[in-house]
Amino acid sequence: MKNETEARPFLEYSDDPAESGESGGIRQFSENSKNAIRNSRLARDLLVFLVASLLWLGAIFFLLPWPSSSGNWKPTNHAGSKSVQSGAGDYRLYNITSNAHFVTCGNSTAEAQRKGCRYDTLLNHWVPAACMDQEWIDEYEDDDSWTAFADVNLTQRLAPEDMGKREHYYTSIRDHVNHCAWLWRKQFWTLFENRKVFDGVIVNTYHTEHCAEFLSELMTMNRTQPTLVRVGFSGCWVKNEDEEL
């Protein structure tokens, strides 16, 4: 037979209170002590959380720049068009347009030409010459779907130099898809390369939302009708020279 020592478990513990060797008063004192410690720790953790939250809120409020509005932008009467009147907006948080100034092309073809702006067939907007990215335009125009037409039946083809002189023109659904896709590519490289000059269309919230909605609903809409494009007048964001890199 095993002796008394060998019969003991590895940890001397019993579920039976009668065999625990502790009095009720001692057990009650122990429980009260544990509760007090637990409550103390909870209060401490809550205090730390509140203090940390207040510090973060203070840091966000005082450290983030809150630039004043440098203008207003309004979307054109869209009506299925992919054109949008872009401009400086009221940007409340730090973003790519912070520490940059906006150069406009005005609100008419004549004014845009006087300011030295050019019509960008990819953007469907007049933009300052500094924001004309011919490489992107050439790649976009490699797909013949970009062609513009004067009529809704897509029979009266327009020359590229005549597109910006009109109030509107028509293109195919395929061109609408390419337009949104290429602008998102251009938007990515503008951010990735931290470009110092970029057009107002790729940072326009309304236009980005429009492209996202159009592409996401395209398969269910079964659209076949041409796209009405309203000629727009955008501008250039130019980073200030004293911007910290």
The answer to whether position 69 is within a domain reads no
Q: Kindly report the backbone phi and psi dihedral angles of residue 119, in degrees, each rounded to the nearest multiple of 5, phi listed first.
A: -85, 125
Round to whole Å and give the CA distance between 118 and 105.
9
Q: Tens-digit pLDDT profile for the chain (245 aa)?
A: 444 444 433 334 333 434 444 444 444 444 555 555 666 676 677 676 666 666 666 655 555 444 333 333 333 333 334 444 444 444 456 788 989 999 999 999 999 999 999 999 999 999 999 999 999 999 999 887 889 999 999 999 999 999 999 999 999 999 999 999 999 999 999 999 999 999 999 999 999 999 999 999 888 877 788 999 999 999 999 999 865 44
The answer to whether position 90 is within a domain reads no
Q: Are residues 203 and 106 in the same domain?
A: yes
The answer to whether position 134 is within a domain reads yes
Q: Are residues 53 and 152 in the same domain?
A: no
Q: Are residues 228 and 111 in the same domain?
A: yes
Q: Are residues 220 and 120 in the same domain?
A: yes
Q: Are residues 49 and 163 in the same domain?
A: no
Q: Are residues 30 and 113 in the same domain?
A: no
Q: Are residues 135 and 21 in the same domain?
A: no
The answer to whether position 10 is within a domain reads no
Which residues, 6+ apart, have CB-to-CB distance to 152 below 8 Å? 170, 225, 226, 228
The answer to whether position 202 is within a domain reads yes
Domain count for the chain, please give it. Answer: 2
Q: Are residues 133 and 58 in the same domain?
A: no
The answer to whether position 79 is within a domain reads no
The answer to whether position 197 is within a domain reads yes
What's the confidence (pLDDT) of residue 88?
46
Q: Are residues 142 and 228 in the same domain?
A: yes
Domain that holds residue 213: 100-239
Q: Are residues 124 and 232 in the same domain?
A: yes
* Residue 32 CA: distances (Å) to CA of 24, 29, 39: 12, 5, 11
Q: Which of 43, 63, 83 is the last residue of a domain?
A: 63
Q: Which of 36, 63, 90 is the last residue of a domain?
A: 63
Q: Are residues 134 and 193 in the same domain?
A: yes
What's the confidence (pLDDT) of residue 38?
61
CB atoms within 10 A of CB 93: 10
Structure tokens at 184: 């998102």
- Report whether 190 contacts 77 (CB < 8 A): no
Q: Are residues 146 and 27 in the same domain?
A: no
The answer to whether position 156 is within a domain reads yes
- Report whether 147 contacts 171 (CB < 8 A): yes
Q: Which of 8, 42, 63 is the last residue of a domain?
A: 63
